[in-house]
Structures are given as structure tokens and as C-alpha cells.
Amino acid sequence: MVSHSPLPYNVQKIDELNYVFVTKHGILYHLYFMPLVGIYPSLPNTYSFNIEREGTLPHPIDRRIAATVVDVLRRFFQNIENAMIMVCDSTDGKQHRRRNLFDRWFQYYNDGTMAAINAEAGDSEYEILLSIYFKKTNPNKQQLMKAFGDLLAQDCYDIVF
């Protein structure tokens, strides 16, 4: 864990798994988790994590955004049974940028207690990047790894929009 971290922004909790914060540049970010139990019941306590911002204009680099995301994830993983899936798709051509950015944040956050599995699927026209994150002490980790493998085997087809 890096010391002298920038301060996270104040996060407003909309509900149990939905957060917003405003940056010093006035940009509003949404961080939300969607439970996957409805479509992947074999993935216990697993959520799709999403980071979205209002508007589309570019803005300067702001390290407090990463600190804020990390803060929210730290709280999320206080329940050691929680797992998180990130999906980056090539619809807007930013999938690698998103994953690389998130990988950097993850490395920054990871104090050695987290595990991650990365996967890629698609063809020359469409690409999808999937990652699953969980605590190494998650009592369901064997099941998570198997179910994530099943997801890749069963659902990484016909994903072109």
C-alpha cells in the first residue's frame, strides 16, 4: 500500500451499492455494484463494478479519483466473501485504457491480500476484457474460480453488438 495517498473525495451513498462523488473539476462520478446472483447464481456474493461519469468532456488527471475508488473498494471488500467482476468492452475502443487504468488502481490498492484473474475474449471486430477480484481469504474462492471459468466457457460467444 502506498503511503501519502491523496485524500479521497467525499462519497455520497445513494443506496447500499451505489455511490456518487464530485471532483474538484465539478465532474460527477457514479460508482455502482450490480449483484450478479440473478444471472450467475454459481458466483456467490459477486458484483459487477462500474465507474461512470456524467458528461463526456475530457478533464485533467486527478489522483483523488483513484483514491476515492480505492476507498469504496476497500469498504466493499471488508466483507471477505464479496467478489467483484470488471467488464471492459470495445464498444467505444477504450477497453484497454480502462483495464490498464483499473489495473494500476488495483495494484495501488492491493496489499497482497487480493487475488485477480484476467481474461479476454472476442475476435478482430469486438473484444471483451473480464477480470474477477476477491480476497485470498474468501472462503468461496475455489467456487469463484470454477464459476468464473464456466462463465468464460459458456458465455464468451456471440457477444458482438
Residues lying near other proteins in the complex (CB under 8 A) are found at: 14-18, 28, 30, 32-40, 45, 48, 50, 52-56, 76, 79, 82, 87, 89, 91, 128, 130, 151, 155-159, 161
Residues 6 or more apart whose Cβ sits within 8 Å of residue 49: 31, 32, 33, 73, 76, 84, 85, 86
* Nearest-approach distance from CB 110 to other proteins, in angstroms: 20
- In 28-144, beta strands by DSSP E: 28-35, 46-53, 83-89, 114-122, 127-135
* Nearest-approach distance from CB 3 to other proteins, in angstroms: 28
Are 114 and 57 in contact by the 8 Å Cβ rule? The answer is no
Closest to other proteins by CB, 91 or 107: 91
* Nearest-approach distance from CB 57 to other proteins, in angstroms: 10
Q: Could you give the CA distance from residue 157 to residue 112 in angstroms, rounded to a whole number?
A: 33
Closest to other proteins by CB, 101 or 159: 159
Q: Could you give the CA distance from residue 40 to residue 100 in angstroms, rounded to a whole number?
A: 26
Q: Are strands 46-53 and 83-89 parallel, antiparallel or unpaired?
A: parallel
Closest to other proteins by CB, 32 or 108: 32
* Nearest-approach distance from CB 62 to other proteins, in angstroms: 18
Closest to other proteins by CB, 70 or 130: 130
